Structures are given as C-alpha cells and as structure tokens.
Structure 1
Amino acid sequence: MDQDIRLVFPEVRKCIARISFCREGETKELRHMVIPGIVVAVDTDGSATIVANPVFFKMCPEFKLSFPNDTAAGYEKERKLFSTMVDYRDKFCTFKLKPEVNGFVQPAKIETKPLKAADYADAFIFPRKDFITPAAYCKGGVVNGTEAKTEVMLESASHEYAYLGSPIFNRNGALVGISYADIGCLIAWTTQELRDDVLKHLSGISYVSDGIPVEQAPVQQN
C-alpha cells in the first residue's frame, strides 16, 4: 500500500547528494546551479556510486558535492571535485565518492514494476536559492507510461531546472525514474533505462518490486 510521502521523505533523502556548479561568465541568476546526485550503490568501505544528469559536468571543469547527514544542516560540508573524475554513459554520468561519515547514506531502492498512467510519483528537487538550498518534493502523477516504454511523463508542479536529473519516487520511496526534460510536465527516463545504461554494470543494487525486495530486476522488452 502506498504510504504518505511525508513518511518516506526522511529515508529518501539519504540517497540524494547535492551537486553544485559555478558557471563563470553567466549572469548572477544563472551562475550557481544545484542538481541532485542519486546514490545507487554503497561499497563495503562506504564509498558511494552516484548517478546524475551529465549536462553541467560537460560545461564546468569543477563541481562541489555534499552528502546528506543527520545534522541540523542536513548535509555535509561541500567538497570540491573535478569533472575529469566523471564517467559518461549514454544518458547519465556516474562517479564514486566516500561520505565523511559511514552509515547514514543509503542507496536508492530501484523499483522494477513498470509505471502506468495515474500512478502517484513525486520529484525530489533542490530549489535554487542562495546557492545552498533545502530539498523538497514536487508532488505529481504519471501522465503516461507503459511496460513497453522507457520514458514517462510526470504531471508535477513546475520548478526551475527540476528536469536536470531530478529523481522521481513512488509513494513507497522507491526510485521510478530520473527527469531529463520539461515540456510543461517533466519527462523522465524509467529505471529500466537506468538499468540498461548504468546499473547492469554495478553490483549491490537494491531492487524492489512494488516495494518488496527482489534479487535482481527482470529484463523488460520494448
């Protein structure tokens, strides 16, 4: 049964890192950008594999990242990193980094059950305000999406730059997609596309089906 989204938010935020960029030469309003990084695996030594939208990594030589934690601030101190450490896939990019404190950061649960129209889904975003920003949900629902599709349209509250890799979660707190475009509603790659592009190359992925853990994601045919 779907839960109230407020109940799963504390767990969901454990798999979302904050990635920020400073784009030289842009206006003040466009200079600082913040996007989510999704933790999809955590090694035994605590190192986290992060998936993100590749757009700004290709534009900026440096970026900063902070992992979530259980402090009042909600996130660790930012660390400066270089885009040369990023591995570019077809639709996503990945990189690995270890949080300052082991144990709090957890990998996202990857939903394998296909989405369908009218399913509830919510986008996790970082409102871009004063560079360092809190996290929030944009509530929405699936406009279309079938088992044969690798992308879905999410009817969600419009938000500036929410399309740049915002993770989409169902009401059980499982990842169901990652946004990549905004045409009045968010368009997101499904986790099938994420699996084909990234996850099949990794181990230790937390797959679920309708919220119930499964050993591995079933292969879906288009």
Structure 2
Amino acid sequence: MDQRGFVRKSIVRISFKWPNPDNKGKILTVVLPGTIVSIKDDGSCVVLADDTFFRQENCPFVVNLPTAGGYDGVPVAPSMQFFVDGFCALVLQVQPNGYVPPVTFETGPVRREEKVYGFLFPQEDFFTPTMYCPGNVT
C-alpha cells in the first residue's frame, strides 16, 4: 500500500457568517471542525465536515489551516465541494509540495513489510499533530 492509502488526521477551522433565522436574522459566526483525510501528490488535501451548514443558501465559509500559534490567518479556498453520506467533502489546494519529506525513525532494526505505528508528515511552517494510520515499511 502506498502513502496515499493511509489516512491523515488533522483538524481545520471552518467558519461561516450565518443569518440565524431564530434570532431575527442576527449574523452569527459559526465555527466547525473539518478533518483532513487525505493528501494528494499535487499538494491538495481532502477535508470532511458535517454537511448541515454547507447545504444552507447564502452561507459563504472560509477554511483556516492549523499552525503552531492556532490557525493561519489567511484562509484557503476550496477548489471543489461535494456531498457524500451526510458529509461535505472539500478539496483544498495548499502550497504545492509544502509537506516535509518522510522522516526515518531509528528505533531498532526495521525490515521491509514490518508493521510500523506512525509517521509524521507536517506541512512546512504548520503545526499538524497528526499521524498516518499503522502501515508497513516500504
């Protein structure tokens, strides 16, 4: 299985300016988490989030990536948006090749096809407390 087959978990911040119909149209800021579930070779990533607010009309949203100090102040615009089984899937185009290359951890003798329990692949200048799911050494 190649790296694209592993799931990457990382939380992004999705915020909406929403005219709440129950509060006389007062504008509220709604913040939702989104989970990065995959990263493509071109540097784009796929984010899943609850689709409730995405199905509302006139609900423009912004997505901010996690950084060491909280969240990046410059939002990332999705290049695609579609709905799947109660989730909204967003494709975000982040900095091309902006991910740090894999790191080799020397914890003892490791052989090809041996089980491993986590690799960190953070984006440059971003704090991503994430790991790929268990896989095999290649």
TM-score of Structure 1 vs Structure 2, range by shorter chain: 0.5 to 0.7
| Equivalent in the alignment of 2:33 | 36
| Equivalent in the alignment of 2:17 | 22
| Equivalent in the alignment of 2:75 | 79
Whether the 8 Å CA contact 2:49–2:87 is kept in 1: the answer is: yes
Out of 213, 218, 221, the position equivalent to 2:135 is: 213
| Equivalent in the alignment of 1:112 | none
Deviating above 3 A after TM superposition, structure 1's stretches of 4 or more consecutive aligned residues are 25-30
Whether the 8 Å CA contact 1:19–1:36 is kept in 2: the answer is: yes
* Percent of residue pairs identical: 26
Whether the 8 Å CA contact 1:16–1:38 is kept in 2: the answer is: yes
Q: For the residues of structure 1 that align with 2:87 and 2:50, how far apart are their CA atoms?
A: 5
TM-score (norm 1): 0.36
Q: For the residues of structure 2 that align with 1:81 and 1:61, how far apart are their CA atoms?
A: 14
User: Alpha-carbon deviations, 1:92-129, whole Å to 9, x = none?
Assistant: 1101112358227xxxxxxxxxxxxxxxxxxxxxxxxx
| Equivalent in the alignment of 1:69 | 67
User: Alpha-carbon deviations, 1:149-187, whole Å to 9, x = none?
Assistant: xxxxxxxxxxxxxxxxxxxxxxxx77xxxxxxxxxxxxx
State the one-letter code of the partner of 1:68.
Answer: P
Whether the 8 Å CA contact 2:44–2:92 is kept in 1: the answer is: yes
1:93 equivalenced with 2:88 (yes/no): yes
Larger radius of gyration: 2
Give the root-mean-square deviation of aligned CA atoms.
Answer: 3.3
Q: Number of aligned pairs? A: 96
Q: For the residues of structure 2 that align with 1:16 and 1:29, how far apart are their CA atoms?
A: 28
| 1:46 positional shift | 1.4
| 1:80 positional shift | 7.0
Out of 43, 55, 63, the position equivalent to 1:46 is: 43
Whether the 8 Å CA contact 1:52–1:94 is kept in 2: the answer is: yes
Q: For the residues of structure 2 that align with 1:97 and 1:81, how far apart are their CA atoms?
A: 6
TM-score (norm 2): 0.55
More helix by share: 1
State the one-letter code of the partner of 2:91.
Answer: K
| 1:45 positional shift | 2.2
Q: For the residues of structure 2 that align with 1:103 and 1:62, how far apart are their CA atoms?
A: 28
2:71 alignment partner, SS class:
coil
